[in-house]
Structure 1
């Protein structure tokens, strides 16, 4: 199978899987464990972050299901690093601020893996891009006159208990221009206005529409969604590679394998997405290779508690209370008040930590 081939290409003999309780990294584990044992005669390792003090975040029960099922040697740790630790050092090392990922947590993970004797780490990264998205599938089938496929999809959704009203909304989306849809969402305050803190200029943020996926013509939206993994910033990947090299390990992502991507991109829409749930095809293909409780999970892990435990007010104050440089659209006075009050929500933290990285970078030169 293509995933098995991709995993086999990634193994070196001193491997560990960065394992979570979802579907993506367990899918890698299902193929890596037997192949590693065949090659080396030993169980492959797994390294997992666990959060015994944060029950809503902790996935240990699912992780252990996978390791027991696949015969994997499990190592766990409680992450201690925080997203803004040594932020100026990292900005100097990378020559840029790094968005999205928590570089200190990556470095902590890779250093621990190396201490355990592993030099090659396998992840489930990019699985959601390889498997594809059902977003805008109904519009795609309508605009391409795929009537049999559309009928089968609607029937499958009805059997799943989805209401006709919800399905009609999917059909209606086909005929609403994206800019009109974004205007309506903003007018009805359905564009998550709380995502913009009171110390940022909402007009500046809203220069980019809330739903950029709707700006494409409806006949192209689903196709564009299948290619979203080819877009975006490569800075985060580079940061991970630098962290890995610094700690003496390599990171391999089997779901980025070109043959696997070509296979999923070649599938007809109705086969790739047999219903409007994410990863339905993947779950079916993995049935029997992974425990059913993993494939049938309906609860979703939200990392909000861990994210909020990362808030570092002293570091934010250092970089943002009286910055040497000022970025248009930021009310630094109000931001300083909020930092002093110590009452951030997750949206405040999301924006502020990236802003702190930017200022740390600007101050480093």
Structure 2
């Protein structure tokens, strides 16, 4: 057997043998066989081919047939001819070779494990782990990474010996060894060709094209609408390309500082959408927390998965089968506030080294400096600026607030590499084709924030709700365009998404352009003190987690005290992460065996 795959019927299931047979149980998977060449292919997703001949082949015979045609002509370079979102398995029985690949932005996923001369692969890490040839236990290292990142960052998975592909990565297996490579990287070769007006128009044209590509001609299509710039743009463009009011779906919270439905209403009135709203309650969260733990093949701690699920479910209840989401605009056009903040610290490294050597001892050793506001601020600035990127971005990580020995049980701590999350971040940061810190941070966020986190959140919750989701801002032409912009056209003097927002002035309401970023934030921390069923769920989960030999019971008690007495929203984030871990472990590892 060259390749075998996992067990869950909901996942992409492909199995190839020396006899050259291919089977798949995923209803959205395209398969093809070329007996003359001894090749078999399976493709999940919505790939696209700029090459006219390959596009015609895909239209006539299916995506997998186009993959085989490209493979015959170009070999592994066939991947460079593919765009769109896809997970690909190609098996060449004559060369005894299996190739796995996922799309450039990591919208789809593939996980795999090598067991001797066999490769087991699936869209689900849990399916691979449960294959009888694998039988992988939960990986303690991954649990540490989860508590650090609030998800398990690729290439690691929650199960020992199982890996997952990164965006734009392929893996080739020949029955003996496995090699991995990146077949695409965002280029930054040309900088801002044309004047700003032409670039702004080009952005608008590409955004409209991207939304048109993701709008379904057959199935009813709607859009998530948080009221932010991204979702508002997608909602407005959906109405424009469809020629009718877009069906939009928005979530609210009955908690001060969390509800932003008014911004969604501003967008809806501006574009004349057909709006739908739902207020998430604490009872909804009690329902959602075990649902989230069961839905993901790895522990997943992003609390906004809950409102995402209810928003997607509302769309399905109103007859929508495809929903468009605004994810990706921040990571490719400079929308995260930390880009501007970290840019301030990067200015320090432009000061000549000789001046820094003279200045630092004076500031750091200034008499009574801790009690003098300007000196105290200068010390804090220097201390933070000294930490290089990307490590500086994790300075405020929750696990850095206390010594790790106070958080974790000794045996667990001794078994894990606490530097692994930062090593993964450094790899993505320095792999960027640009040397500009802003663009390197965006490249890191493409991998960590987008592919490992936000896309997993939205796609899995939409699947659980019974709708398909698509991401116009991840359109390949739009992503490539982002690489043509100068860094200052993305972030400049504290302004975020400079060209992006300038291009949308006049299209979006002014209030949308100027509002601060929020998204589907969840008042879990506040509700945890007020809602008895939610409090009971959390306390039961934390007590159970404290017996697993991972996190010390004393630390869990400390978190609950701090949450109950002050900073409920802040400490509520970590409590959510820990409760979801326990709920996930209950389904995937017996107590004491994590």
**For residue 209 of structure 2, what is the aligned residue in structure 1?**
5
Structure 1 residue 17: Cα displacement: 1.5
Aligned partner of 2:262 among 61, 66, 71 = 61
Mark the structure with the bigger radius of gyration.
Answer: 2
- The question of 1:265 aligning with 2:483 is answered yes
**For residue 178 of structure 1, what is the aligned residue in structure 2?**
387
**For residue 441 of structure 2, what is the aligned residue in structure 1?**
225
Separation in 2, partners of 1:22, 1:326? 41
Structure 1 residue 289: Cα displacement: 0.5
SS of alignment partner, residue 275 of structure 2: strand
**For residue 571 of structure 2, what is the aligned residue in structure 1?**
348
- The question of 1:201 aligning with 2:406 is answered yes
SS of alignment partner, residue 266 of structure 1: coil
Contact (CA 8 Å) 2:228, 2:519: kept in 1 or not?
no
Cα 1:331–1:114 change in 2 (3 A) is same
Contact (CA 8 Å) 1:82, 1:102: kept in 2 or not?
no
Equivalenced residue count is: 326
- The question of 1:21 aligning with 2:243 is answered no
Tell me the TM-score normalised to structure 1 length: 0.72
Aligned partner of 1:254 among 472, 490, 499 = 472
Cα 1:246–1:72 change in 2 (3 A) is same
Tell me the TM-score normalised to structure 2 length: 0.47
SS of alignment partner, residue 47 of structure 1: strand
**For residue 70 of structure 1, what is the aligned residue in structure 2?**
271
Question: Per residue, is there more helix in 1 or in 2?
Answer: 1
**For residue 154 of structure 1, what is the aligned residue in structure 2?**
none
Cα 1:302–1:314 change in 2 (3 A) is same
Q: Which runs of 5+ in 1 are unaligned?
A: 144-164
Separation in 1, partners of 2:492, 2:562? 49
Relative contact order higher in (CA < 8 Å, ≥ 6 apart): 1
- CA offsets, 1:219-266, max 9 Å, x none? 552231131233126365345333323433111111111111110112
- CA offsets, 1:141-176, max 9 Å, x none? x97xxxxxxxxxxxxxxxxxxxxx9xxx9xx98x96
Aligned positions of 1:296-311 closer than 5 A: 296-297=514-515, 306-311=523-528
Aligned partner of 2:536 among 300, 314, 320 = 314
Question: Per residue, is there more strand in 1 or in 2?
Answer: 2
SS of alignment partner, residue 574 of structure 2: helix
Separation in 2, partners of 1:64, 1:182? 39
Aligned partner of 2:321 among 119, 138, 144 = 119
Structure 1 residue 25: Cα displacement: 0.8
Contact (CA 8 Å) 1:226, 1:265: kept in 2 or not?
no
Cα 1:197–1:106 change in 2 (3 A) is farther
RMSD: 4.3
